[in-house]
Amino acid sequence: MTPRTRAFRRDSVVWALGRAVLVLIAIVGTTALLLFVGGYAVDSGLAALWRGSLGSWYAFTSATLVRATPLMLTGVAVAIAFRAGVLNIGAEGQLLAGAAAAAAVALSLDGLSAVIVVVLALTASAIGGAAWASIAAFLRSRFAVLEVISTIMLNFIALHGVSYLVRGPLQEPTRVYPQSSTIVEAFHLPRIAGAGRLHSGLLLAVCVSFVAGWVLRRTAAGFRLIAAGESPSAATSAGGIDVMATTTLTFLVSGALAGLAGGVEVLGVTFALYENISPGYGYTAIAVALLARLDPWRVAATALLFGGLEAGAGAMQRDAGVPSTLVTVIEAALILAVLVLGALRPRSSAPDTSTTPIAA
């Protein structure tokens, strides 16, 4: 590594740390401003946001990290799709498809070992998400249907599909509540000792984030994915890359990760399938991925940030009477701030090799 490259990397680290500080300042400042404009007590609102997200070990583990887990998986799903030039807006529908598949498997395999059932349920969730994404992938490759349109429409179909399932084939035996039966405790994801409601799905999400980042940086598959997203024509003519096959496979992997998030949520948090099982994780994942600049490793950090915001939003509503939708405005402001900071970043002639994959 040349001194020039080392200096460039050092400057990049300093810039990243500075940007993180600015993001935190922006969160506090924007929250305070919105509270003031809305006529709410600024001090009590900020205090509730802190208590609900980071104010205690229980709040951090049982609220922030629990919410960050599905955001991490769906954030990685969106990030890798966008890097390949696939605008997958359907992570929400793919999450719901995965949740339905996991619930159906866990509720129908009572006689097997708990480990086998959990593995099969999570596998089914990934397959369900990939299958749901395959509809949009087929429409894209066969009829050139824009995936932005098809995935949004599929989100609504998945939402109403779950509603049908919990009022029909998967409804609990009494037929009173629009939900499935409760999954037996043996099939729940193991809790992390000393961390309250936090389950082992977080470890799975962190591993997925690490592996996805490594693949993009260090493998030929990652090189093909990024090349296809950066310039499909150049990737085809100069690199000999089958762009359609690459983007279709990426689409399916993205759907599988989003579906896995649904399975993790069912087996780790809700323990049943019901309407509105997702508070919009698939949509928030787009903000998570954009804030992370489509880097799976950074997604882990931004998912934690958004998980804390959503956990704090509940505390603000409960303790200070502040509408939780205020956090949605803050999240949008964060994305705009990141775009501005990205435009202001000083350029260097040295290459940034931290995210450059190695072709084989």
Helix 42-53 / helix 3-37 crossing angle, nearest 10 deg = 130
Q: Determine contact, residues 167/261, Cβ cutoff 8 Å.
A: no
Residue carrying the six token digits 């603000």: 316
Tokens of 173: 């035996």
Report whether pLDDT(352) > 60. Answer: no
Quote the CA–CA distance of 88 and 91 in Å, as a whole number: 7
Tokens of 196: 């309250």
Quote the CA–CA distance of 84 and 140 in Å, as a whole number: 14
Q: Determine contact, residues 110/320, Cβ cutoff 8 Å.
A: no
Closest CA to 84 of 147, 139, 149, 154: 147
Quote the CA–CA distance of 65 and 72 in Å, as a whole number: 10
What's the mean pLDDT when you consider all of the chain?
89
Quote the CA–CA distance of 257 and 76 in Å, as a whole number: 8
- What is residue 179's three-state secondary structure? strand
Closest CA to 330 of 295, 305, 293, 300: 305
Tell me: the pLDDT tens digits for 230-241? 999 999 988 899
Per-position b or e across 174-207, b if 16+ CB within 10 A of its CB: eeeebbbbebeeebbbeebeebbebbbbbebbbe
Domains in the chain, CATH or no CATH each: 64-314 (1.10.3470)
Give mean pLDDT, residues 223-248. 93
CB atoms within 10 A of CB 64: 22
**pLDDT band for position 1 (50/70/90)?**
low
**pLDDT band for position 16 (50/70/90)?**
low
Closest CA to 89 of 26, 22, 149: 149
- Which of 43-52, 102-111, 296-305, 316-325 has the lowest average pLDDT? 316-325
Tell me: the pLDDT tens digits for 185-216? 999 999 999 999 999 999 999 999 999 999 99
Give mean pLDDT, residues 119-135. 98
Tokens of 242: 């089958």
pLDDT of residue 198: 97
pLDDT of residue 24: 76
Quote the CA–CA distance of 185 and 271 in Å, as a whole number: 8
Report whether pLDDT(276) > 80. Answer: yes
| DSSP element (H, E) containing 38 | none
**pLDDT band for position 7 (50/70/90)?**
low
CB atoms within 10 A of CB 344: 8
Report whether pLDDT(123) > 80. Answer: yes
Compute φ and ψ for 191, nearest 5 degrees: -80, 150
**pLDDT band for position 299 (50/70/90)?**
very high
Comparing 30 with 348, the larger pLDDT belongs to 30
Quote the CA–CA distance of 35 and 45 in Å, as a whole number: 7
Which amino acid, residue 211?
Answer: V
Percentage of the chain with pLDDT > 70? Answer: 88
Query: Residue 333 burial (CB < 10 Å; 0-12/13-18/19+)?
Result: middle
What is the CB-side half-sphere exposure of residue 266 using CA atoms within 13 A?
A: 38
Report whether pLDDT(21) > 60. Answer: yes
Compute φ and ψ for 168, nearest 5 degrees: -135, -105
Quote the CA–CA distance of 179 and 119 in Å, as a whole number: 23
Quote the CA–CA distance of 129 and 73 in Å, as a whole number: 12
Residue carrying the six token digits 């000393």: 194
